[in-house]
Amino acid sequence: MRVAPNPNGPWHIGHARMGAVVGTYKQLYDGSFICRFDDTDPDTKRPDLAAYDAILDAIGYLGFEPDAVLRASDRLETYYDYAHRLIDHGGAYTCSCAAETFSELKNAGEPCTHRDKPPAQVHEEFDTMVAGGYEQGEMVLRVRTNIEHKNPALRDWVAFRIVDRPHPRDTAADYRCWPMLDFQSGIDDHLTDVTHIIRGIDLQDSAKRQGFVYDYFDWEYPEVVHWGRVSVDEYEVSLSTSTLSERIQAGDLNGWDDPRAPTVASLRRRGIKGDALVAAMTELGVSASNVNLSMSSVYSANRELIDDAANRLFFVRGEPAEFPVRGGPDAGAPPVHPDYDSRGRRTLPVNDGVAVEQADCPAEGERVWLKGYGPVRRANGVFEYTDDDLSVTNNGVDIVHWVPAETSVSLRLRTIKGDVTGLAEPRVTRVTPEEHRSVRAGWVRTGRQHHAAGRVLRTPMIGSAVVRTGRNSSGSVYLRRTY
C-alpha cells in the first residue's frame, strides 16, 4: 500500500488518516508501506521544499517508517518511456487543440482532427514536448479512450502538458513536460507493486481513467477502496493546506504548530502521542460516507498513553484568594503521582500563606481540606489548621487545590480556542508580542523536578499539559494543553 501526498505543505490532521490506516494495515498483514510524493504539479499545487521532510516526520510521529520513499519528480524519464510505449499501443496522441475547442468537441462526443495521427508523428511531437519545443498550452498528450463515453470526464483525458514554471527542486527544475496525476500515479502504482489503494471518494474517476492505460498494457488494476471526507471538530480553521498557509502568512496563526491549527505538528507540539491519533483515526474505518473525527476520542486515547508518565501538580484558576495559615505543618506534601509512591512527594511550603480559587474560598467559619496538606477553617482572614481527619470530607467539607501564595509560578496555557494564559515572573503576567491575544488564567506550583521542557504534567483542573520552554531565570513556565 502507499500514501501519496502532494508536498505543498505539512500535513493537517485529515492527511494523517491515510498514514495511520496504511501504516496499521502494513503492521497487521506484514505488507509494504510506500510513501510516494506526487509532486508533478510545479504550478497549481506547487511543492513546498520543507514539506517533504515535514511529512516524513509526521509519518514517523504516527509510529511508522516507510519501506520506500519515492519522489515522482525524480521519475520523469520513466513516465516519458511509458508514454512512448502507450503511443506504440495506439493509446495516446498529441493534440494542439485550444482547450475550449477540445472541450466543445469532447462534450459533443466528437473526436478532434489530431486523434488519428500516425504513431511516428505522435512520437516526434511528444519528443518535442519533452525537449521544451512548445509553449505552455500549445501541445498536450492525450490518452485515447472512448470519445463517446457516457462520462465526459473520461473522454480522451490529458496525460502530459507543458508547464513553464520551473519545479522548486533543483533536480527537476529543467523539466517542462509534466505528467498529470492520473497518468503518473497509475504508472507508479504498477511499477511499485501496489496491490491495494485507498483514496477519496471524490477521486472515483481516477481509477476509471487509469483503467484505460492498464488495459492498453494488459496490467491488473489494484484493489481500490474509496472513503469519504474526514472533518474534525473543535477547530475554527478548516482542513485545508492553502487556507492554513494563508492564515499563517497573515499572522493569524503562529506557524504550522500553533495549537489553534488543526495540524499534525500542532498535536505533536502539544504533547499528544502519535499512537493516540492513530487509534482515533483507525476507529473511523474506511466507509465511503463522510466521517467526523471528534477530538475527544484523540484526547481519551492520549490520556491512556500519558497518564502513568504525567506527574501531578496543583492549579488555581483566575485571580486567587490568599490566606495566611496558622497552626499546621510548615508544608504540604502531595504525591508526585497518586499511583506511584516511588516518585515521592512534592514539598509545598505554606509559611507565606496559600492561594485558592475564589470559587473554593470558604465562608467565614467554614472549613475546606487543602489537598495534600489538611483541614483548615477560615477565621478573620486566616486559615486555621483544625486537626480533623479525612472523614470530614464526607460531611460537606470540600477538597480544594491550592498553591503557595508567594512562590507560585504564573502560567500561560495555550488552547485550541486561542485562550492562553500569561507566562511571566511570579505574580506578574508578561505577554509577548506574538501572544498578544493571551489572558492570564491562573497560578501553578511547580517543583524544580517537574518543569523540564517536554515534560507532561497533569492537574484535574485543566487536564494534562506539556511544558514547552521549561522554566526561565525568572521562574516562569509555559504549558500547552494535551488533555
What would the mean pLDDT of 20-28 be, rounded to a whole number? 97
What would the mean pLDDT of 126-150 be, rounded to a whole number? 98
Burial class of residue 208 in the structure, from the number of CB atoms within 10 Å of its CB (0-12 exposed, 13-18 middle, 19+ buried)? middle
C-alpha cell at 464: 494534562
Those residues with Cβ within 8 angstroms of residue 433's Cβ, 6 or more apart along the chain or in another chain: none
Identify the pLDDT of residue 324.
97
In this structure, how many other beta carbons lie within 10 angstroms of the beta carbon of residue 406? 14
- At residue 407, the 3 state secondary structure works out as coil
Distance CA 297, CA 275 (A): 12
The domain spans of the chain are: 2-74+228-299, 76-181, 322-404, 409-481
- The answer to whether the pTM exceeds 0.85 is no
Identify the pLDDT of residue 417.
63
Those residues with Cβ within 8 angstroms of residue 240's Cβ, 6 or more apart along the chain or in another chain: 12
One fold for 2-74+228-299 and 76-181: no
Distance CA 336, CA 322 (A): 24
State yes or no: pLDDT of 478 exceeds 50. no
Rg from Cα positions in the chain: 31
pLDDT tens-digit series, residues 193-239: 999 999 999 999 999 999 999 999 999 999 999 999 999 998 888 89
Identify the pLDDT of residue 160.
99
**Cα 83 from chain centre:** 36
Identify the pLDDT of residue 259.
84
Share of the chain above pLDDT 90, in %: 73
Find the helix or strand (DSSP H, E) in which 277 lies: helix 274-283
C-alpha cell at 215: 488495459
What would the mean pLDDT of 398-423 be, rounded to a whole number? 70
State yes or no: pLDDT of 177 exceeds 50. yes
Q: Which residue has the higher pLDDT, 463 or 140?
A: 140
Give the CATH class of 322-404.
mainly beta
Mean pLDDT, the chain, whole residue set: 88
State yes or no: pLDDT of 391 exceeds 60. yes
Those residues with Cβ within 8 angstroms of residue 108's Cβ, 6 or more apart along the chain or in another chain: none
In this structure, how many other beta carbons lie within 10 angstroms of the beta carbon of residue 117? 16
Distance CA 202, CA 221 (A): 19
In this structure, how many other beta carbons lie within 10 angstroms of the beta carbon of residue 363? 7
Q: At what angle do helices 13-29 and 274-283 cross, to 10 degrees?
A: 80
Identify the pLDDT of residue 426.
28
Task: Name which of 32-41, 64-73, 244-253, 471-480 the model is least confident about.
Answer: 471-480
State yes or no: pLDDT of 64 exceeds 80. yes
Please determine, looking at this structure, whether the domain spanning 2-74+228-299 carries the CATH number 3.40.50.620. yes
Whether the CA torsion 140, 144, 148, 150 is positive or negative: it is: negative
Identify the pLDDT of residue 142.
99
Instruction: Write the CATH number of the domain with boundaries 76-181.
Output: 3.90.800.10
Identify the pLDDT of residue 318.
77
In the structure, how many helices (H) and strands (E) does the chain have?
Answer: 11, 28
Distance CA 315, CA 117 (A): 77
